[in-house]
């Protein structure tokens, strides 16, 4: 399962992830009347070069060029640096030729075993639902619990 965009291998996120570690991610969405958060936990494994290659080339050409131009999380002097590099690559590959996946580009797969959905309430009596995987009689099932805020 790909969650979010795959990081480059040199990003801080990838440097912190090693095979079989546990990972927790949270997404937050706020509106005037409600705040929602989702937390996901599970094991993380690096995907193969072949799978990274296949996924890279399934993306639109513009996204492929953007992935080459962006050295994720490195400091740049301004947006124009990215735009100029992108423009140069656009010209280089304007004939529709094959765009090679950069060596530093790859991905990780999160296999979730826990989801928590949190919905904020003005009263602070927030709604929290947790879905966790359980082994029962040789099969895996999702168990749902309501948690106190």
- Active-site residue flag, 134: no
> Residues 59, 61, 124, 134: which is the catalytic one?
124
Of the candidates 99, 95, 102, 93, the residue with the CA atom closest to the CA atom of residue 70: 102
| Cβ–Cβ < 8 Å for 121, 61 | no
Which residues have a catalytic role annotated? 124
């Amino acid at each position: 399962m790909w969650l979010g965009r795959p990081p480059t291998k040199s990003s801080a996120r990838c440097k912190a992830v090693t095979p079989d570690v546990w990972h927790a991610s949270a997404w937050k969405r706020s509106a005037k009347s409600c705040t929602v958060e989702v937390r996901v936990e599970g094991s993380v494994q690096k995907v193969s070069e072949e799978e990274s290659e296949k996924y890279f080339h399934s993306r639109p050409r513009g996204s492929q060029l953007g992935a080459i131009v962006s050295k994720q999380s490195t400091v740049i002097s301004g947006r124009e640096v990215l735009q100029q590099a992108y423009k140069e690559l656009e010209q280089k590959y304007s004939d529709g030729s094959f765009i090679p996946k950069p060596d530093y580009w790859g991905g990780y797969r999160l296999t979730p075993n826990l989801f928590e959905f949190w919905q904020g309430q003005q009263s602070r009596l927030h709604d929290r639902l947790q879905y966790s995987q359980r082994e029962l009689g040789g099969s895996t099932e999702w168990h749902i619990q309501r948690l106190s805020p």
